[in-house]
A and B are shown apart, each in its own frame.
Chain A
Amino acid sequence: MTSVASQPAGRSKARRASAQEGGAVRSGMTLAAYLFLSPYLALFIAFMLLPTLAAVGISFMRWDILGTPEFIGLDNYRQIFADPLFLTAIKNTFYFVFLTAIPMVVLGLALAMLLDQKLKGTAFVRTVVFLPYVVMVSTVGILWGWLFDKGTGLVNYYLTAIGIEPIAWLKDPHWSMPALAITTVWWTVNTNMIIFLAALQDISEELHDAATLDGAGPWQRFVYITLPLLRPAMALVTALTIINGWRVFGQAYVMTQGGPEASTFVIVQYIYLTAFQNFEMGPAAAAGVVLLLITLVFSLAQMKLMKAI
């Protein structure tokens, strides 16, 4: 304090000016940041936030698109929870998340570890692994529909070759969801791989070198260096995988249309058909809100769990 008070007036003035300038620069930078963000923000608000808020509103209305919405309180929520098909959809979607979440994270990490090696041809293999991601869901669905065919499909061809009886993957209610899970893992595990790969490349070589000098083997380095440093990436990947799992739709719609015997009927298909086939916007919006809450709860629980580990 004294030193400041004893400063010559001119210096203090200059400092104030510089502070003001700094403030101006900072606010200028903040403005620039907002400007850079604004295109995304505008689109996000127009096409995500406002429709989401509208959906919450519509979930309390009776509305068939053509008429005037009418407020009916919680009736839509009562209707969907009394609908066995909605409960089946929740159960099926949960089963899908269960089937895909662990392989998506474990396989994503394993692939990333593999492709993080400095071997010849790694760039090519990375491209090959990432390639399915650019294929459209309808193509993926039709392709795997062929692969899973009981009579002529490649999957059963190999199963038969190792002495396993052919499975009617998409026509047997017990196998249809595992078939969708396998398809999904093949199609999307590469995004998890990319995130893990980026995170792996962020880990300093020196840490591994130091640990090696201290006598740590590959497994110890993986457990005590790689895994802890991957925690943020792991949290992100797990959250994204679970959220995407709950939002599954395209594969089920193209490959099985929710069948056989409703075994692959998922929440988003329920929402889509309720809204655009039955034109019951209220119950569809209510189901959307329920899905939002489910993903929120799962994400928060998962985040908490990751912090605890």
Chain B
Amino acid sequence: MANDVFAKSLLTRRQALALGASAALAGALPRGALAADEKVTLWHGWTGADNTTALNGVIDTFNKGGKGVTVEPTGYDWDTLFSKWVVSSAGGRAPDLVLFHITELPEFATRKVIRPIDDVVASSGLDLSQVPDAGRTGVTFDGKVYAAPLDVHPLGFYYNVDMVQEAGLDPAKPPKTGEEFLEWAKKLTVKDASGKVTRYGFELPNTWATARWIWFSLMYQNGGTFLDDKGLAAVDSEASQKALQYLVDLINVHGVTNPEVGGNKGEDAFASKQVAMKFIGPWEVNLRMAQKMNFMTAQLPVFGAKPAVWANSHCMAVSKQPNEDKLAADGTFMKWFFDNFAAPATTVGIIPQSKAVRENAAFTGTEQYKYFKSFVDDLPNIVYEPLIPQYLSVFSFDKPTPLVTNLQAALSGSKPVPDALKAMKEGLDAQLKKG
């Protein structure tokens, strides 16, 4: 047994000492604790330095907990993770556990690279009743649970407190409606003597996914949906047009935002004071704190008839394997991770799905919590993007899809809103019909 341990890797001095101490205590320990741990491989896409450190730290704690399971995590950027995973599955070398977004779950379930885990949930005692309905629905496909829901990360409202105060507004009373938001945006937009804008009230970048998430939220606030009853795109609906027109008007009519400001990798319009407000997920809380910005967060204002806010979630699934002898070990870690999610949630900047964890002092007692609270308050209003097998190609970040291209065309003014949405629907329908 000892040989196995040494064969794994070179030991650090601390590990060697720990091993010596364990040997000395061997008589006092139950026999099973000395048996070689079952190794479980985990692939994830949390590649930011802080995220990886947080995840590895939590996994280290688990590995040292004497549960008879050792988890070996590997991080890839999301695209690499997915392609590598599918190819590895084809070659019979898939990892045991994989962490990804629930919106991608139907695609992986359809491709049969993951297996249903109702049995694992039952045998491990993972308490899914702690998860809100939307989160449970998100990990269910064809009536079977396919993954452990871990967190939720909705869109939220960030604003620069200094700028708000300078504009004579009350940072303790952030806008709750579209009218109030517009008033803030106008007052927070600053022009120089020549009339040139030196700071925009709001960030609405034409690149990346932010504009899509904002438009998506506003569409649902207006009573619209992304798909119709037949599973085809409903993006040309009145609610959708109203939502997108509102955003285009912020640019062209009110001049409180500019799609050319912010959004690209490396550009930080919020920190460089080019904008005063932005809508983004809780994952920016730690960044803003590290930058020592005087900022605050709030729930997304209600622009339409009802509150609604875009969200996504991470989940953990079990890869389909030719041999299922690791299911018990998989379940042991999944349950432990689900129950001890406060630490990674705080560092990564996401909200735990489990009510017990969400309300635990390990989460609510953190210095980040005052910013996370508005996201927690918005949980009843979250809307996930459609859980469809074509998710990755329809909602791709990295491809000029019909969705991205037409949204960009509307925001840049190269297509009127109705034309852009009509073209978007045609392109989306072609993708959706492909199956």
Which A residues are within 8 Å of any B CB, using their own CB?
64-66, 85, 88, 141-143, 145-146, 149-152, 168, 170-173, 253-262, 265, 269, 273, 275-279
A–B pairs, 27, beta carbons within 8 Å: A64-B111, A66-B90, A141-B265, A143-B266, A149-B266, A150-B260, A151-B274, A152-B272, A171-B259, A171-B263, A171-B264, A172-B412, A257-B398, A259-B408, A260-B408, A260-B412, A265-B399, A265-B400, A269-B398, A273-B399, A275-B83, A277-B79, A277-B82, A277-B83, A277-B396, A277-B398, A278-B393
Q: Which residues of B contact A141 (CB under 8 A)?
A: 265
CB neighbours of A257 from chain B (8 A): 207-208, 397-399
Q: What is the minimal beta-carbon distance from A283 to any residue of chain B, in angstroms?
A: 11
Measured CA separation A279–B389 after assembly (Å) = 12
Cβ contacts B237-271/A at 8 Å (1 or 0 each): 00000000000000000000001110111110100
- Bound complex: CA A279 to CA B397 (Å): 16
Evaluate contact between A277 and B399: CB separation under 8 angstroms.
yes
Check A262 against B265 for contact (C-beta < 8 Å). no
- Chain B 64-104, CB within 8 Å of chain A: the 1/0 string? 00000000000000010011001101100000000000000
How far is it, in angstroms, between the C-alpha of A141 and the C-alpha of B267 when the chains are bound?
12
Task: Say yes or no: is B234 at the interface (Cβ < 8 Å to chain A).
Answer: no
The 10 A-B pairs of least Cβ separation, nearest first, read A262-B400, A168-B260, A276-B83, A171-B260, A145-B266, A151-B274, A257-B398, A142-B266, A258-B400, A265-B400
Asked whether any CB of chain A lies closer than 8 Å to the CB of B112, the reply is: yes
**Across the two chains, which residue of chain B brings its CB closest to A88?**
B400
Complex Cα spacing A149 to B405, Å: 21
Q: Which residues of A contact B383 (CB under 8 A)?
A: none
Interface status of B353 (Cβ within 8 A of chain A): no
B399 lies within 8 A of A65 (CB): no
A154 to B415, CA, bound (A): 31
| B206 CB contacts on chain A under 8 angstroms | 171, 260
Determine if B12 is an interface residue (Cβ-Cβ < 8 Å). Answer: no
Tell me how many residues of B have a C-beta within 8 Å of chain A.
38
Interface of B is mostly: loop
Q: Does B54 contact A (CB under 8 A)?
A: no
In the bound complex, residues from chain A placing their C-beta under 8 Å from that of B83 are 275-277
Question: Do B272 and A261 have beta carbons less than 8 Å apart?
Answer: no
Give the A-B contact count at a CB cut-off of 8 A.
Answer: 103
Interface residues of B in 341-359 (CB under 8 A from A): none
Pair A279/B399 contact, Cβ less than 8 Å: no
Whether A170 touches B207, Cβ cut-off 8 Å, given contacts A262-B405, A273-B398, is yes
- With CB as the reference atom, state the residue of chain A lying closest to B199: A151
Q: How far is the CB of B44 from chain A (nearest CB, A)?
A: 18
User: Is the Cβ of B400 less than 8 Å from the Cβ of A65?
Assistant: no
A66 touches B261 (CB 8 A): no
Question: Distance (Å) between the CB of A70 and the closest chain B CB?
Answer: 15
A260: chain B residues within 8 A (beta carbon): 206-207, 408, 412
Chain B 316-332 interface mask (CB, 8 Å, partner A; 1/0): 00000000000000000
B414 close to chain A: CB less than 8 A: yes
Residues of chain B with a CB closer than 8 A to A275's CB: 83
Known: A276-B83, A279-B111; 5 extra A-B contacts, CB below 8 A, are A66-B89, A88-B400, A255-B265, A256-B207, A275-B83
Interface string of B395-418 (1 = CB under 8 A from A): 011111000110011001010000
Which B residues are in CB contact (< 8 Å) with A65? 86-87, 90
Cα separation A146 to B266 with both chains bound (whole Å): 6
Assembly CA distance A168 to B262 (angstroms): 10
Q: How far is the CA of A253 from the CA of B409 in the complex (A)?
A: 20
Interchain CA distance A127-B206 in the complex, whole Å: 39
Contacts of B265 in A (CB 8 A): 141-142, 145, 254-255
B residues 188-209 near A (Cβ < 8 Å) are 205-208
Kindly state whether residue B392 has any CB partner on chain A within 8 Å.
yes
Q: Which of B205, B260, B400, B409 has the most C-beta atoms of chain A within 10 angstroms of its own C-beta?
A: B400
Q: Is the CB of A261 within 8 A of B400?
A: yes
8 Å CB contact of B404 from A142, A146, A259: A259
**Complex CA distance for A256 and B408, rounded to whole angstroms:** 13
A121 to B10, CA, bound (A): 48
Q: Does B274 contact A273, Cβ atoms closer than 8 Å?
A: no
CA–CA, A170 and B243, complex, Å: 26
Is A151 a contact partner of B264 (Cβ separation < 8 A)? no
| Nearest A-chain residue to B262, judged by Cβ | A151
* Of the residues B207, B263, B400, contact of A85 by C-beta under 8 Å: B400
Chain A CB within 10 Å — which of B392, B393, B399 has the most?
B399
The verdict on A259 contacting B111 (CB below 8 Å), with A151-B274, A254-B265 known, is no
Partner pick for A273 among B86, B208, B267, B396, CB 8 A cutoff: B396
Picked from A66, A255, A278, the residue with its CB within 8 Å of the CB of B392 is: A278
Among A145, A253, A259, A269, which residue has the most Cβ atoms of chain B within 10 A? Answer: A259
Given contacts A151-B272, A260-B408, contact A145 B267 (CB under 8 A): yes
Give Cα A168–Cα B414 distance, bound, in whole angstroms: 15
Contacts of B404 in A (CB 8 A): 259
Our pick among A149, A173, A253 for the contact of B398 (Cβ within 8 Å) is A253
Given contacts A66-B89, A142-B266, contact A261 B207 (CB under 8 A): no
A281 to chain B, nearest CB (A): 10
User: Whole-angstrom distance between the alpha carbons of A257 and B265 in the complex?
Assistant: 10
> A261-B405, A261-B412 are known contacts. Are A277 and B393 too (CB-CB below 8 A)?
yes
Which residues of the partner chain A approach B260 to less than 8 Å between Cβ atoms? 150, 168, 171-172
